[in-house]
Structure 1
């Protein structure tokens, strides 16, 4: 968040806070079965699961129209790359935690949002909610300021350099200010927001185990695919087996926290229905309850197989001709048309757990 920029003595009363910008890539992995993201909808994707609910909560608590989950996600990515350790999330200027708060600023915005009895800037919930409150306040200031330009840009500049600098320049500080740190900070975050913008939350009607499983799986939309990763407890790192789990020649599964296709299904139905781990085993456990393609209901399982008959993929029917699944390495948990989710010629059949 902020890397305090050297205060100018002539400007009295300005509380300067700045940020050390961190840029990096979010690793997405592997291969043949599923992908990981985080949200499960709600207009957010590509965010670590431990951050997702807090980002959505911070967004919901802000009534400013310019606030969206992707804005907070892109800002966190720029600030810390979603890192939380003291070693990785402490700037050279002393900014702390995933939202990079300077101690003085944290004293104003930090609260015990996660209810664990403490309120350090290292706690994900505390940090994200403080970030959301501060950005919400800055968005309101920007809206009421009368300054030209995008209110999000003005708010981000205020977060990075302090609102006093925005007032001084009547807008985002120019490239000449602080070697372009604030200017570039704003531009990078606004340009990377799109990578975190996900589909709207999947609406699931009805009741019963199928609908409940679909609702649960939908909360994981956007979670990265990790071959061999995930299980009843949620996403986890996977593994490579010589064929699967690789991305551009590198084993991505071992460093990606996510689901593959069958672990997503297992997670969705657990613990009410304890399905086995692999797609082939899940088909074997439910094949006695086959469902025709014309009689599909939300929560039904759909399977695809090779010409040999080996079941290699499973998805959950999401209604309206769509499926929710973890497709393959390099992708994420997503909703896709049944007709194009996997090769049509490989469609094997459907079952109802």
Structure 2
């Protein structure tokens, strides 16, 4: 195995950080048996007044959701590339979702957010589970952006050029008014 080069553009550092994040997440998931349920007494942050918390604390999942979550976390801080469909070259939002679903649960998806939305079943926000998909109108057309729900009001997405794959909140002042709903490919 070759030593990481100082001129590899930070690739080795990113891989090391992803590996550490996956190891920590695996330990956390092993300790957590179930996903916490939301009670009627809990209230999400109001749009325009988000908590700003984009950490991964308190996130857990079972089954396919766990596999999707592990792949999703492994892509954090990866590069964005319009039309990209692999982590080495960079990913856009639908490329990220397609890559994760193919590798985590063996579901092959088109590389287009609107087409993925047409294949997925709409679900109420109250039924969202880790690994479900969230859709947004960010380009004045339905289902022009998407991400993967990771629980606790958070999702992972590939936002735009010169950016990286990151965690955002559904109640974020930008995303809340553009939110078009959740859909699932994991439950019938």
TM-score range, shorter chain: 0.5 to 0.7
The answer to whether residue 80 in structure 2 is matched with residue 225 in structure 1 is yes
* Residue in structure 1 matched with residue 41 of structure 2 by the alignment: none
Offset at residue 295 of structure 1 (A)? 2.0
Q: Is 1:351 equivalent to 2:183 in the alignment? A: yes
Which residue does the alignment assign to 2:133?
Answer: 301
**Cα distance in 2, alignment partners of residues 338 and 56 from structure 1:** 24
Q: Report the Cα offset of residue 202 of structure 1.
A: 6.4
Deviation at 1:210, TM superposition (A): 2.5
Structure 2 residue 167 is the aligned partner of structure 1 residue 205: no
Gap regions ≥5 residues in structure 1: 1-20, 27-46, 59-198, 237-256
Equivalent residue for 1:277?
A: 111
Check the 8 A contact 2:58/2:152 in 1, yes or no. Answer: no
Structure of larger gyration radius: 1
Give the CA deviation at 1:351: 0.6
TM-score, normalisation: structure 2: 0.65
* Paired residue secondary structure (2:172): helix
- Indicate the SS of the match to 1:211: helix
Mapped partners of 2:59, 2:136: distance in 1: 24
**Cα distance, 1:341–1:303 mapped onto 2, change above 3 Å:** farther
TM-score with structure 1 setting the length: 0.36
Give 3-state SS (helix, strand or coil) of 1:350's partner. Answer: strand
Tell me the alpha carbon deviations over residues 275-307 of structure 1, each in whole angstroms, 9 at most, x when there is no partner.
211111110111xx2111222111110011268
Separation in structure 1 between the aligned mates of residue 173 and residue 133 of structure 2, nearest angstrom: 13
More helix by share: 1
For structure 2, list consecutive stretches of 5 or more residues without a partner in the other structure.
1-5, 21-53
Alignment of 1:216 with 2:48, yes or no, is no
Change in CA separation of 1:319 and 1:303 when aligned onto 2, cut-off 3 Å: same
Quote the residue 2:87 is aligned against: 235
The structure with the largest strand share of the pair is: 2
CA shift digits 1:299-340 (9 cap, x unpaired): 110011268643210011111111111111122111111112
